Chains A and B, each alone.
Chain A
Amino acid sequence: MNTDIFNVQVKIGKPWKKPPFVQSNLLRWVLITGFVIYLIAAYMTIDVNWSRVYEGLERGKKFVLAFTNPDFTSRSSDIWEGMIESILMTVASSVVGILISIPIALGAARNVSPLPVYLICRGIIAISRALQEIIVAILLVAIFGFGPLAGFLTLSFATIGFLSKLLAEDIESMDKVQAEAIKASGAKWTQWINYGVQPQVMPRLIGLSIYRVDINFRESAILGLVGAGGIGATLNTAFDRYEYDTAAAILLIIIVIVMALEYLSGIVRARVQ
């Protein structure tokens, strides 16, 4: 009798098992053990002062509670000035950054520009993307002095890398047929760009620009930490003085503005695409 049952098992085959995510057996085990060893090593080297953390929880609770009762009034002039400065920096740097990044994007698209120009523009993009905003800000503050000018230059510089790269990719993947049709009508190079290329990439350019405005605002909030103007300085002071209610107010304003910008960009992108 027993052997019959085994036969049935053989006849219906093995039960199904979920296929693993990484196909190769060896690679999977190497990855898992490597990961576990790394985790242990990382855990050993981070020394957490748990008693300090435990003490801090009380302050953490106070901060969370401060969000229910933010203090907009007692430092209102500082908050107001910082916010205005952040917005000014955002607007000015986005405009300048976008204006500069358009020619660079054209230069960095292989189907529009010759090889030497392409390499130079790709180099500019690589440098701008590799350098962190805050590091650029430190250097520019050292060179140009404290104030929003350093922040403005930092954000413009960062905008160039971001926007040119994505725009260049869009130009490279454009529809050749339309551009060729314009060329065939005897258009000059500028006319070709204006009527053959620009209408194709315009929706993407608008969408990316608005997204970048959003990013620039968020970044402008931290540039103040290194003295490059904006709301960051006020926020830093509020944390240093343990004025959590003021800090909560500033953070709430930042969140609301970012949400509003995101909502706006959603509407605009839906309209242009």
Chain B
Amino acid sequence: MPSQNKNGLKVWQKRTARESIFHWVLWLIGIMIFTYCWQQISKSTTWFFVWDAPRIATDLWTRATPPKWEYISQLGKPIWDTLNIATLGTIFALIIAVPVAFLAARNTTPSRFLIRPFALLIIVSTRSINSLIWALLLIAIIGPGVFAGVIAIAIRSIGFCAKLLYEAIEEIDETQVEAITATGASRWQVMVYGIVPQILPAFAGIAVFRWDINIRESTVLGLVGAGGIGLQLSSSLNVLAWPQVSLILIVILIAVVISEWVSAKVRGAII
């Protein structure tokens, strides 16, 4: 135990002298990096606008309140579109994610050196790019609209669902699989009766969890033109109709809270 002599008394210390120097150096480097980053950010900031910010914020607030409640009659279709983007996107993603997950899991993949890296590549590349970027890309390819949003959400969700699912597959109880194999079952029968029942609760949980995230993401996809309530948001922003913007933000907040509540309830029922 590290200790220090103080007037003949041994006093307990958390770290040895070398350890504490090492820690101080680490902290110093960290602070230096942060200061550098902050300097760069502040260099490319117009500080006049920042000092002016409180006035602008109060100005925005007075413009945005009260929300234009009657505008809600025009929001029905966009909300329905948003729900469709999230739900259909999740369904498409799951259809593709299931085979990818089986190819990526160590214990079910047909080939560890050829197919598994390929499946992992699909997972990483779809996961690391945000759905808004996928939407941008798909709008350039297949044109603006709800369909582009559905596909963007689907692609983004493949990696997420497949990753969680293949981790669940790798954690299954092997003895059950062995028992099914011992009855003389074929490869497919082993999968259906040995593996699938074990991962079904995880699968349902992942699906609902991702659906909840997708509701959030699909509310803003419209900003780049991919349909849903974001489309109304961006057109209201463009014409500076702040009362409409505040109403749309309230609607989005309510949608997010409801979807989170639903997903928590369903996951609670499954697990």
> Helix, strand, loop or mixed for chain B's interface?
helix
Residues A145 and B141 in contact in the complex (CB < 8 Å), given A46-B147, A132-B220: no
- Of B147, B150, B217, the most chain A CB neighbours within 10 A belong to B147
Contacts between the two chains (Cβ within 8 Å), count: 141
| Chain B hits for A63, CB < 8 A | 137, 140-141
Interface 9-residue window, one of A69-77, A102-110, A167-175, A250-258 = A250-258
Residues A49 and B41 in contact in the complex (CB < 8 Å), given A142-B56, A145-B49: no
A56 within 8 A of B: yes
Contact of A135 among B45, B49, B147, B249 (CB under 8 A): B249
Contact call B143/A49, Cβ cutoff below 8 A: yes
| Chain A hits for B77, CB < 8 A | 45
Smallest distance from the beta carbon of B123 to chain A beta carbons, Å? 11
| Chain A hits for B41, CB < 8 A | 88-89, 92, 148-149, 152
| Chain A hits for B73, CB < 8 A | none
**Chain A residue at smallest Cβ distance from B40:** A88
A59 within 8 A of B: yes
- Of B37, B45, B150, B216, the most chain A CB neighbours within 10 A belong to B37
Contact of A239 among B140, B256, B257 (CB under 8 A): B140
| Chain B hits for A213, CB < 8 A | none
B94 within 8 A of A: no
- A46→B233 CA distance, assembly (Å): 20
**Chain B residue at smallest Cβ distance from A151:** B41
Interface 9-residue window, one of A2-10, A117-125, A200-208, A215-223 = A215-223
Contact of A46 among B37, B38, B146 (CB under 8 A): B146
| Chain B hits for A139, CB < 8 A | 60
Residues A52 and B128 in contact in the complex (CB < 8 Å), given A38-B87, A45-B80, A239-B137: no
Smallest distance from the beta carbon of A50 to chain B beta carbons, Å? 9
Contact of A53 among B127, B140, B143 (CB under 8 A): B143
> Helix, strand, loop or mixed for chain A's interface?
helix
Question: Which bracket fits the contact residues of A?
Answer: 35 or more
- A59→B143 CA distance, assembly (Å): 11
| Chain B hits for A147, CB < 8 A | 44-46
Contact of B87 among A42, A91, A148 (CB under 8 A): A42
Contact of A251 among B33, B84, B133, B141 (CB under 8 A): B133
| Chain A hits for B87, CB < 8 A | 38, 42
For residues 228 through 248 of chain A, which have their beta carbon under 8 Å from a beta carbon of chain B? 229, 232, 235-236, 239-240, 242, 247
For residues 132 through 175 of chain A, which have their beta carbon under 8 Å from a beta carbon of chain B? 132, 134-135, 138-139, 142-145, 147-149, 152
Contact call A222/B130, Cβ cutoff below 8 A: yes
Contact of A92 among B34, B125, B216 (CB under 8 A): B34
| Chain A hits for B145, CB < 8 A | 47-49
B98 within 8 A of A: no
Contact call A259/B128, Cβ cutoff below 8 A: yes
Contact call A239/B136, Cβ cutoff below 8 A: yes
- A234→B81 CA distance, assembly (Å): 29
- A138→B125 CA distance, assembly (Å): 27
B252 within 8 A of A: yes
B96 within 8 A of A: no
Contact call A219/B143, Cβ cutoff below 8 A: no
- A150→B137 CA distance, assembly (Å): 25
| Chain A hits for B60, CB < 8 A | 139, 142-143
B114 within 8 A of A: no
Contact call B81/A45, Cβ cutoff below 8 A: yes
Known interface pairs A132-B217, A225-B224; 8 further A-B residue pairs with C-beta atoms within 8 A, sorted by A's residue number: A38-B87, A52-B142, A63-B140, A134-B220, A134-B223, A143-B56, A144-B53, A218-B129
Q: Which residues of A contact B (CB under 8 A)?
A: 18, 21, 38, 42, 45-49, 52-53, 56-57, 59-60, 63, 84-85, 88-89, 91-92, 95, 130-132, 134-135, 138-139, 142-145, 147-149, 152, 218-219, 221-222, 225-226, 229, 232, 235-236, 239-240, 242, 247, 251, 254-255, 258-259, 262
Instruction: Show 24 residue pairs from A and B whose CB-CB distance is below 8 angstroms, ordered by the A residue.
Output: A38-B87, A42-B84, A45-B77, A45-B80, A46-B146, A52-B143, A53-B142, A53-B143, A56-B141, A60-B141, A85-B40, A92-B34, A92-B41, A130-B253, A134-B223, A135-B233, A135-B249, A139-B60, A142-B60, A143-B60, A218-B129, A225-B223, A226-B223, A255-B124
The 7 closest A-B pairs by CB, nearest first: A145-B49, A258-B128, A56-B142, A92-B37, A149-B45, A56-B141, A60-B141
